[in-house]
Structure 1
């Protein structure tokens, strides 16, 4: 089962969900806001995709963080601690395809998977 993790009002998540629906692909949606970020999955994503890719330093949430808190993120463990406390700082969507994990929406890359 494909699991798409994200926030329902995120434009990129909306595009990803629409694309999956148009392709007739069944998936489960995991809402970070309502269901939280599963710590064991976060560790898996960081290992699979890299914590640098998973941490959205371009987003509004990151820019609103205290500079000292931003500076404290220097490795996977510190990034995961921040992401658990502030799920909106995770680049979205995160998709668990079963065998691997992707971060962000890439219609071409996804089409090659299904």
Structure 2
């Protein structure tokens, strides 16, 4: 099991996700999404697992531009260029992924 948590340093849900795995003594790799971002392959894998609409942080005012982009590839490219538009935390376990705080799903992984 190789857990990766992509999040923003000031995001409370990201901190809750890290605490969830620490309490269960599950090793994970924390990645600062704003500082390091995601590779194109990782972003594509997460999109395939959760869907593009769930991946976007619609509370971010800059996310409105994504609604007006025509193709899914264009939307994905905008998320790749600006990782602040991605809803956090993004928790990956191989090909499986969740967006947001989802302890019920993570329980099945551990």
TM-score by length of 2: 0.86
- Structure 1 residues 51-84: Cα deviation after superposition (integer angstroms, max 9, x where no partner): 0111111x2x3x2x285x2442344312212211
Distance of 1:83 and 1:89 partners within structure 2: 6
- 1:12·1:93 contact (CA, 8 Å) conserved in 2? yes
Unaligned runs of 5+ in 2: none
Distance of 1:55 and 1:24 partners within structure 2: 30
Aligned to 2:99: 103
- 1:12·1:105 contact (CA, 8 Å) conserved in 2? yes
- 1:55·1:79 contact (CA, 8 Å) conserved in 2? no
Structure 1 segments (4+ residues) deviating >4 Å? none
Aligned to 1:72: 68
TM-score by length of 1: 0.83
- 1:46·1:76 contact (CA, 8 Å) conserved in 2? no
Aligned to 2:42: 41
Distance of 1:96 and 1:70 partners within structure 2: 23
Query: Aligned pair count?
Result: 109
SS in 2 for 1:88: helix
- CA RMSD, Structure 1 to Structure 2 (Å): 1.8
- Structure 1 residues 20-53: Cα deviation after superposition (integer angstroms, max 9, x where no partner): 1111110001111221221111111111211011
Distance of 1:35 and 1:77 partners within structure 2: 21
